[in-house]
Structure 1
Amino acid sequence: MKLRAILTSIIVALAGAANAQGAGDQAILEMAQAYAKNNKARLAQLLPQVRGHLLEAWGAYWELSSRLDTATPQEVEEFFTRYAGTYQEDRMRNDWLLLLGQRRDWGTFAEEHPRFRMNDDPQVRCYALLIQHLREGPAAPAWLEDEVRRLWFSPRESGEACTQAASRLLAEGAGRNRLSEADAWRKARLAMEANRPRAVEAAVELVAPDALPLLKQINASPTKFLTSRVTVASRSRKELIALALIKLATSDIDNAAQLLDRKWGPQLSPEERNWVWGVLGKQAAQRLSPDAMGYYARVARDSDLSDDMLAWKARAALRAGSTPRWDELLSAIDAMGEDLRKETTWQYWKARALLASGKESQRAEARKLLEGIASPRGFYEQLALEELGRPITIPQRPAPLTAEEKEAVRANPSLARGLYAIGIGLRNEGVREWNYGTSLARPGGLSDRELLAAAALACEREVWDRCINTSDRTRGEFDIEQRFPMPFRETVVRRSQEIGLDPAYVYGLIRQESRFVMDARSHVGASGLMQVMPATARWTARRIGLNGFTTDQLNDRDTNIAIGTGYLKLVLDDFNGSMPLAAAAYNAGPNRPRAWRNGPVIEAAAWAENVPFGETRDYVKRVLANTTIYAAVLSGQPQSLKSRLGMVGPRDAALPEPNRELP
């Protein structure tokens, strides 16, 4: 009787806890909505209702974050203490450090910064570098200037903190490796090309504040500025001319080239002239213009170009004809910064260029490069395997996880909170919590075995995106079932075979589109496993005879697969079975790849590398690499990525006209 009473009390206690947790879910969801609307009063009202809930830290973070600018330091410290070690503590510290930097409270910032674990905010990093420089002055180490320069030159960077750090270093003047006036103008050029006018203005203001009125004229009409009677009497005037040419090049390449060649080129410095020709080359290359290599040929020194310009020079060399211009490709890669040169993309293409030389010494170097990246892990890694004469096969699976390894990740509180948040509909918060738990919850993150155990936990819960992304991060281990799962296998395979699609291709696309998240929704409104747009879904439903379809059915698994595969089949047929072209069409619409294919007939890997949209370029490569692995899994046989890629060129005139109705 005593044992029965104890068991009954435990059951009652667990039931009570479950009911309390369930009741708190609604309050948490309401707090998330209140936070999105910046409803401070509602957040304060709801906070007591989530005390003791598994996601209490989220509620407390939202409430304090909404009023952080008026919160007392004591309130912030109490939050840090109460939620020590959590993602929310570190995220709040990030927010607090930014506020301290804006307030110029350097003393408190210096005390708090060493406790910031994620260190993923460039603005916080710039404030920290600024404080170190204020403390050490001219004795500050040289790497500090290099780090400020790297952060400040980042294409998306336009924040106050990095501008302040750069301003401080510029004020130091010449010497050692200090930031210089030339660096400020370089920042302005990069920002102008990226169409970030505020960042341009901030950079120019640091070195030539009196030039700001002329900068406004450039932004209003670069052509009018360049054709007016501008005198080149100073460094700033020359740089303004360069900025105007860059601005014009983004909309009118031919006019900018003529003005540079016939009027302004002789009046610019060699470095300025090289830079503008490099911008023209990049703009032409992104438009897939045959003139791109001609513009790049006007550059006297590749070292004057940015990495982005060099990457597009390399791409233009790949597309320059039926045989790539290997020498220009090699010179562009060799001029890249070390980090870019190390990317598998450029290691692979450098190896190809060296192999094309026919010289035995260069062939040995090429083989070394290929050996360094060859694996089934990605697009260029797979191509490297084939270049070495090896088929693409499934790696041996790791040793089974032990009970202790599984239990350890189940005890990870961040992973538990992440899965719970995803389960009640807070996917963004859950993903951030999960990522923190697998990377920064402790110094160094999780080991390969721990990552495999975490991925296994996500797979068990059918949280496929966390399963895949977590397993993808292992370096020494490769679990094929985690990295390339096949949910809904019977449905996907049957539907694909019914309409003549390769199931591996369908799986490769779904893995890239949604990571098998059934309720996934993109920022442009695409829905479900195969991320189908509503208008495309309605058109496809009519074409495949799916009567009574309404767009609210897109989150139904079978309907989404039926429409997604139906559309993919129509696209594939429209491109005569070319998987790379069809993948590009699925991502960017069919009209763009119809234009992108015009030009010389080239191998599809070179064509894919020249896709002008970065998102679509990566998409095509990942879908085809995924497809190759899924084919190996489904068939149990070695595979070839190159055979799936084939060649790409203009549509054969003898073939039927493309379906212009295809959305």
Structure 2
Amino acid sequence: MRTLALCLSLLVTSQTSQAVTIDQQRTQFLASHKLIEMGTLTTLDQQKGVLADYPLYPYLEFELLRKQLGKTNQGQITAFTKQYSDTPLAYRLNRAWLSHLFKNKRWADYKTAYAQKPVYNDLYSCRLQVARLNSGEKKAALKAAKTLWLVGHSQKDDCNPLFDAWKKTGQPTSDMASTRFWMAAGKGNVTLARYIERSVTDPAQKKQIELFWKIRQSPDLADTLTTKQLSGEARAVTLQYAYKSWSRRDRVAATNSWLKQRKTLAKTEQSYVDKLNRTLALRLAANFDAKAEPLIQKLDPFFKIEEVTEWRIRVALSKQDWKSVNRYILQLPDAKQKSDRWLYWNTVANRQLSLKAPLKQPLSTLSQERSFYGFLAAELNNQPFALNKQTIPLQKPALVKLESIPGLIRARELFLLNRIVDANREWRRVEKNLTKDQKLMAGYLALSWGWHNRAINAAISTREWDELMIRFPAPHKQLFEQNAELRKIDLTWPLAIARQESAFLKNARSHAGARGLMQLMPGTAKLTAKKHKISYKRLSQLNQPQINIALGTAYLGEMYNLFGNNKAYATAAYNAGPHRVKKWLNDRGHLPLDIWIETIPFKETRRYVQNVLAFRVIYDRMSGRNGSLLSEHEEKLLALNAKPEKPKSL
């Protein structure tokens, strides 16, 4: 620590006598920030001469104030939030200040600070009422307690002093507790519901709650539940729980029972009816139940649930029932019927029903689209792939103006220093005030900085799908291609995987724990490294492109070999796991490849496979290669070509 402080002191002294470069400022910023975090640096007097004009200087001021809140007053907080009101730091410091005041029971100061800069969420609202409770405004605080308590989720512990005081006045009533119980149960917060149950004292209400727990334990009891036993929202919530649970083990029995019970719900509970109709229909369809169709027809007789109608088409595809495919496509809204997906399947169905049905012209029209089905049509029709690429005119004055926006200057600096969370905060704050064209041009700026996922997001947020330059950057292209060659797979395939998985955010991390460009799970990375003798020792290495790409490409190659050199199966396995793909192949592997892809049960995996295969084509074409969507072997497996044999069990 002393060494770092001494080096910083020498750095400051040497730089004050000569011009300071931006690289030197970055070095000093990082060193100063580290010392503030360690508690060694308590003033910025020495840093001002060198860093006062550095874009990220406010971050040092913020960090110093945040570390010294005990020595800070409202005037300093107000001055900072006013001076830096155009940064995310003002809001963050205000929250930190309010939290500090609450923790230290400075009730009057909390009320003053909150009045100047309110934070509109339940936590800070609760804290405000606790401050009032302890500073002579008890009546107002207790009046607000009911609204904060009567919600379907748990409140933070900081609300407890308010609720404890409120309960001493005889609250909540049994009616209020019963209402909150059903709110919590309806949102699936059963732990909270159990806790709230203690406050329900009315015998009739207690009996209803006991019945809920009984049916939750044995869902099939819902079949005989009468309106005298439960009515209104309590009945709707109970039935929702019962049938969602029951349908996991017996979809057909649960659906038959629901079709009888749904008539007993009032019109005021229609939202519950709609949700259960949708849930049960999708579960029947996505599991390809033999008895699915007549039950789905009863659940949605008038084709009101678009997603269910699409699944009815998929069930028909799985049976290669082409008349039903066409009949159900016609039940979709006009816009959906004209989508690439259903135009393709309408064309295939017509051809399967009659060899005289036109094929070349519908495929030719569809092949003008840049999509999985557009590329599939082009390949079947021996036409070139249509990229439909365009680029917004990049006018230098407009770009210069954008580059001079302080928030984007700070965002760039933060990105270059790998402070991605802060960089995104700055970017989003600026982006809210940009026009559509400015957002798009900002995407090109981000691309020029190497901030690829921000560039991609710019095209997505503006819905400018033809801006392929920013939608499909190719960072680490050489690394991807070298590893693809090593694993004997298509050059752009792992690049397309990374584009879909992480949008090229090298430190991306999923909720499940997958990491890096190609989103590898730690266990998979470890096994792959051992199998292929790739140097990998620490979890943090998955954020290093060289290691992540080597491991991800090796694993992709494994999947390719495991699934008979079929990119669709291997891509699905990369996303959903080889065990699931083996099951799907054992269940429906006899189907043509395009039907198999369209009937993948998981929406995420279905979209993933179609995107990755299409992205491969785009990357190939943008690299000047002809490329193809499918190999010759894969193309033979399509519905319009020879029907494949059922694969051997894997």
TM-score above 0.5, yes or no? yes
Paired amino acid for 2:412: L
Q: Which residue of 1 aligns with 2:518?
A: 530
Equivalent of 2:496, from 501, 504, 508? 508
Q: Is contact 2:446–2:455 with CA below 8 Å preserved after alignment? A: yes
User: How do residues 94-173 of structure 1 correspond to structure 2 at under 5 angstroms?
Assistant: none
Q: Which residue of 1 aligns with 2:537?
A: 550
Q: Is contact 2:402–2:408 with CA below 8 Å preserved after alignment? A: yes
CA shift digits 1:5-38 (9 cap, x unpaired): xxxx99955428764553332454677x89xxxx
Q: Does 1:629 align with 2:628?
A: no
Equivalent of 2:425, from 418, 432, 435? 432
Q: Which residue of 1 aligns with 2:3?
A: none
1:333 to partner: Cα distance: 3.8
RCO higher in 1 or 2 (8 Å CA, sep ≥ 6)? 1
1:287 to partner: Cα distance: 3.9
Instruction: For 1:109 and 1:462, locate their aligned partners in 2 and report how far apart those are by CA, in whole Å.
Output: 40
Q: Is contact 2:614–2:629 with CA below 8 Å preserved after alignment? A: no
Q: Which residue of 1 aligns with 2:87?
A: 86
Paired amino acid for 1:626: F
Instruction: For 1:628 and 1:78, locate their aligned partners in 2 and report how far apart those are by CA, in whole Å.
Output: 55
Q: Is contact 1:319–1:607 with CA below 8 Å preserved after alignment? A: no
Q: Which residue of 2 aligns with 1:565?
A: 553
Q: Is contact 1:28–1:55 with CA below 8 Å preserved after alignment? A: no
Q: Which residue of 2 aligns with 1:260?
A: 257
Q: Which residue of 2 aligns with 1:454?
A: 442
1:584 to partner: Cα distance: 1.9
Instruction: For 1:201 and 1:346, locate their aligned partners in 2 and report how far apart those are by CA, in whole Å.
Output: 49
1:383 to partner: Cα distance: 6.6
Q: Does 1:293 align with 2:293?
A: yes
1:590 to partner: Cα distance: 0.7
Instruction: For 2:212 and 2:631, locate their aligned partners in 1 and report how far apart those are by CA, in whole Å.
Output: 48
Q: Which residue of 2 aligns with 1:232?
A: 227
Q: Which residue of 2 aligns with 1:319?
A: 315
Instruction: For 2:260 and 2:382, locate their aligned partners in 1 and report how far apart those are by CA, in whole Å.
Output: 53
Paired amino acid for 1:508: A
Q: Is contact 1:451–1:470 with CA below 8 Å preserved after alignment? A: yes
Q: Does 1:245 align with 2:232?
A: no
1:500 to partner: Cα distance: 2.3
SS at match of 1:503: coil
Q: Which residue of 1 aligns with 2:28?
A: 23
1:239 to partner: Cα distance: 2.6
Equivalent of 2:413, from 394, 414, 420? 420
1:535 to partner: Cα distance: 2.7
Q: Is contact 1:285–1:313 with CA below 8 Å preserved after alignment? A: no
CA shift digits 1:204-238 (9 cap, x unpaired): 9xxxx975763465356425475387542244564
Question: TM-score when scaled to structure 2?
Answer: 0.65
1:629 to partner: Cα distance: 0.5
Q: Which residue of 1 aligns with 2:208?
A: 214
Task: Using the aligned pairs only, state the percent identity.
Answer: 21
Paired amino acid for 1:83: Y
1:483 to partner: Cα distance: 2.5
Q: Is contact 1:625–1:641 with CA below 8 Å preserved after alignment? A: no
1:311 to partner: Cα distance: 1.3
Indicate the larger mover: 215-224 or 565-574: 215-224
Unaligned runs of 5+ in 1: 1-8, 35-41, 125-156, 161-184, 335-340, 659-663
Q: Is contact 2:506–2:543 with CA below 8 Å preserved after alignment? A: yes
SS at match of 1:487: coil
Q: Which residue of 2 aligns with 1:578?
A: 566
Question: TM-score when scaled to structure 1?
Answer: 0.64
Instruction: For 2:182 and 2:339, locate their aligned partners in 1 and report how far apart those are by CA, in whole Å.
Output: 30
Q: Is contact 2:220–2:254 with CA below 8 Å preserved after alignment? A: no
Indicate the larger mover: 473-482 or 507-516: 473-482
User: Structure 1 residues 211 and 299, CA, compared in 2 at 3 Å: closer, same or farther?
Assistant: farther
Q: Is contact 1:278–1:296 with CA below 8 Å preserved after alignment? A: no
User: Structure 1 residues 570 and 268, CA, compared in 2 at 3 Å: closer, same or farther?
Assistant: same
1:571 to partner: Cα distance: 0.4
Instruction: For 1:489 and 1:569, locate their aligned partners in 2 and report how far apart those are by CA, in whole Å.
Output: 17
User: Structure 1 residues 284 and 84, CA, compared in 2 at 3 Å: closer, same or farther?
Assistant: same
Instruction: For 2:615 and 2:460, locate their aligned partners in 1 and report how far apart those are by CA, in whole Å.
Output: 12
SS at match of 2:387: coil
1:380 to partner: Cα distance: 6.3
Indicate the larger mover: 84-93 or 495-504: 84-93
Q: Does 1:401 align with 2:401?
A: no
RMSD: 5.8
Instruction: For 2:207 and 2:549, locate their aligned partners in 1 and report how far apart those are by CA, in whole Å.
Output: 57
SS at match of 2:248: coil
Q: Is contact 2:506–2:517 with CA below 8 Å preserved after alignment? A: yes
Q: Is contact 1:287–1:612 with CA below 8 Å preserved after alignment? A: yes
Instruction: For 1:647 and 1:469, locate their aligned partners in 2 and report how far apart those are by CA, in whole Å.
Output: 34
1:454 to partner: Cα distance: 2.8
Instruction: For 1:375 and 1:94, locate their aligned partners in 2 and report how far apart those are by CA, in whole Å.
Output: 49
Q: Is contact 1:315–1:606 with CA below 8 Å preserved after alignment? A: no
Instruction: For 2:98 and 2:617, locate their aligned partners in 1 and report how far apart those are by CA, in whole Å.
Output: 46
SS at match of 1:239: helix
SS at match of 1:407: helix
